Amino acid sequence: MPTMINEPSTAVVILNWNGRKLLEEFLPTVIAHTPPEAGRVIVADNGSTDSSMAYLNDLAANGKIEVMAFDRNYGFAEGYNKALAQLKGRFKYAVLLNSDVAAREDWLTPLIGFMEANTDVAACAPKLLSYREPDKFEYAGAAGGFLDRHGFPYCRGRIFDTCEADMGQYDPTADVDWATGAALMTRIGTYLDAGGLDPDFFAHMEEIDLCWRMRRLGMRIAVVPGARLFHLGGGSLPPSDPRKTYLNYRNNLIMLHKNLPPESRRGVLLRRRLLDTVAWAMNIATGKWGAARAIIRAHNDFRKMRKSFPARADKSTEADLAARPDIISQYFIKRRHTFSSLR
C-alpha cells in the first residue's frame, strides 16, 4: 500500500485467529483509546475460519481499522513477522498487541514520545495490569521483565505466580531485560534486523529471546509505566497444562543457548539442569506426573534441537547473569515475593 499523507507513525498490530469473541470485547476499547493521529489499528488475520473476517470487514468498511488477511494460520511469531515485513517503510513503529488487551485511556502517545526521545531504545512496553483485577499487575509482563542468574524470567511486580498490587511503586521509567509480548512497541527496522520473533519457539518466551537479541545489537529495552493497558491473559494454555510446562522449559533452554556469551553458557546450562532436576523431583513428590514428564521431554528435545540453533560466538557486551539475583533462593527459601524485596 502506498504511503499516505499524514500517516501516523505507529501501526498497532493485533494478530487474530478464530478469535471473534475476544475481538468483540477488546478491540473497541483499543480503537476508542488509540488517537488516529498517533496510531493506525491493523488486525492481521491468520486465516480464520470462524466469523472473525465478517466482523473485521465491517469495522474496516467504517474506516475504524485496516485488515491484513493471510491465506492460512502462520502462528504467532511468523504471523507477526509477516505483518511487520509488509508494514516496513510505511510506519516507523509497530505495537504487537494481543487480542485480549483492553485500553481505558490514551496509552500510545506516551510510548511514542518515549521512543522519539530515546533513539537507542529498540523496544518498550507499557505497564501491564490485570483485566480482571485492575489494581494488580498482570503476569505476562507487569512493569518490565528481567532474567535472574539462572535465566529464569521475573518482573517488576511479578515473581513466579505472585502478582503484586499496583501502588505506583514501579512507576518510574526503567531499562529492563525484556518487554511483554502482550503489548510490545518496537522500531520496525530494528525488529526485522534482529530477525523478528523465532517461529521455532511456537509459544512462550519468544519476546524475551527477541529483546535479548535486540540488546545484543547494542540497543536498550525499556518499560514506560506512564502508559497502561489491561491484559486478560491465559488465552493460550492454562498454567497447569503440561504443554505449557514443556514449552516454558524447552524455550528457556534454547534462549539461553542462543544468547549467552560462550564464557558463561556452559555453567549456566549446567546449573539449570540441576535446578530443573529438583523441579522434576518436586513434581514427582506431589503427584504432578504430567509436569514431571514435560520437564524431562523439554531437556531431551533441547539436546536434539540445539544443533539447529547457532550458539552465540561473540563475547559478552552486557551485564553477566552471574551478577543478577537468584530468584529461586530469594522466593522459596528467603520468602521474598516482591521485586523491591530482592537482594
Domains of the chain: 10-231 (3.90.550.10), 242-341 (no CATH)
Q: What is the DSSP letter of 221?
A: E
Half-sphere exposure of 29 (CA within 13 A, CB side): 20
Segment holding 174, helix H or strand E: strand 174-175
Q: Nine-digit cell at 193?
A: 534486523
pLDDT band per the 50, 70, 90 thresholds, residue 316 = low
Q: Nine-digit cell at 145?
A: 521483565
For 28-54, how does the pLDDT look when each residue is reduced to its tens digit (9 = 90+)? 999 999 999 999 999 999 999 999 999
pLDDT at residue 1, rounded to an integer = 43
Q: Nine-digit cell at 190?
A: 530494528
For 99-142, how does the pLDDT look when each residue is reduced to its tens digit (9 = 90+)? 999 999 999 999 999 999 999 999 999 999 999 999 999 999 99
Average pLDDT, integer, range 250-273: 95
pLDDT at residue 272, rounded to an integer = 96
- Give every CB contact of residue 193 below 8 A, 6+ residues apart in sequence: 217
Average pLDDT, integer, range 161-189: 98
pLDDT at residue 3, rounded to an integer = 45
Q: Please state which of the ranges 133-137, 259-263, 330-334 shows the lowest mean pLDDT.
A: 259-263
The residue type of 55 is Y
Per the prediction, the chain carries an average pLDDT of 94
What is the C-alpha separation between 227 and 24, in angstroms, rounded? 23
What is the C-alpha separation between 116 and 93, in angstroms, rounded? 10
* Confidence check: pLDDT of 327 > 50: yes
What is the C-alpha separation between 320 and 114, in angstroms, rounded? 27
- Count other Cβ atoms within 10 Å, centred on residue 199: 15
Average pLDDT, integer, range 172-194: 98
Q: Cα dist. 249→128, 131, 159, 276, 282 in Å? A: 24, 27, 17, 8, 15
pLDDT band per the 50, 70, 90 thresholds, residue 203 = confident
Average pLDDT, integer, range 135-158: 97
Percent of the chain with pLDDT over 70: 96
* Confidence check: pLDDT of 269 > 50: yes
pLDDT at residue 238, rounded to an integer = 72
pLDDT at residue 317, rounded to an integer = 59
Average pLDDT, integer, range 251-256: 96
The C-alpha torsion from 212 through 91 and 124 to 213, rounded to 10°, is 0
* Confidence check: pLDDT of 216 > 50: yes
pLDDT at residue 236, rounded to an integer = 62
What is the C-alpha separation between 9 and 24, in angstroms, rounded? 26
The residue type of 68 is M
Nearest Cα residue to 217 out of 121, 313, 98, 341: 121
pLDDT at residue 318, rounded to an integer = 63
Percent of the chain with pLDDT over 90: 89
Q: Nine-digit cell at 253?
A: 533452554
- Enter the pTM of the model: 0.95
Alpha helices per DSSP H over the chain: 20-32, 52-61, 75-87, 108-117, 188-193, 206-216, 242-259, 262-285, 289-305, 327-328
* Confidence check: pLDDT of 319 > 80: no
